[in-house]
Amino acid sequence: MNANDYIWWIGAGVLVVAELLTGTFYLLMIALGFLAGALVHLAGAAPAVQYAVAALVALAAVITLRRSRFGHRKARRDAASNPDVHPDIGAAIEVLEWSDGHARVPYRGALWDVELAPGARADARRYEITAVHGNRLVVAEKKPSGPGAAHHPLSTTKE
């Protein structure tokens, strides 16, 4: 055996190691193509056939992964309404007076601009922060909380 006999196996090994470092599964699918190329090489096929089989197997594996539940990532949430980005999301505030869908209220020791979320009522008085756009809080009427509802740690009003 010469050095070219191992190239497919080395390539597959490198891709598997790279996959372990990234965790996306796509490099693993390409490694499957390299393994197919290695098997076709062992069968004595010409290099062009080896490349074609490796490419087709890798492509089929990637397409199959993409269509599976493992290939789709969860839909990205808008950062403005993502509580992982803004811990204020879900906090309760009290707005006493609105002016054309906007208000200015104290929250966490500072005055904040507040805006009604589309479809939210302006007569609720108690609101929940649904999004943060810069220094502007977007709010909707606070959902009724049951006896076991948790109090948001950044809320400035008492439940």
3-class SS at 84? coil
* pLDDT on residue 145: 62
- Domain extents in the chain: 3-67, 79-141
Kindly report the pTM of this predicted structure.
Answer: 0.47
Instruction: For domain 79-141, give the CATH superfamily.
Output: Nucleic acid-binding proteins (2.40.50.140)
User: Position of tokens 């990532």?
Assistant: 73
Tens of each residue's pLDDT in the chain, 159 residues? 576 778 999 999 999 999 999 877 899 999 999 999 999 999 999 999 999 999 999 999 999 988 887 655 555 566 777 777 778 888 889 988 888 889 999 988 889 999 998 888 888 889 999 888 888 999 998 876 655 445 554 445 444
Q: What is the pLDDT of residue 67?
A: 85
pLDDT of residue 74: 56
Amino acid code (one letter) for 156: T
Residue-level pLDDT at 101? 85
Specify the pLDDT at position 155: 47
Q: What is the DSSP string of 97-159?
A: --BTTEEEEEETTEEEEEEEPTT--SS-SEEEEEEEETTEEEEEEPPPP-TTPPPPTT--S--
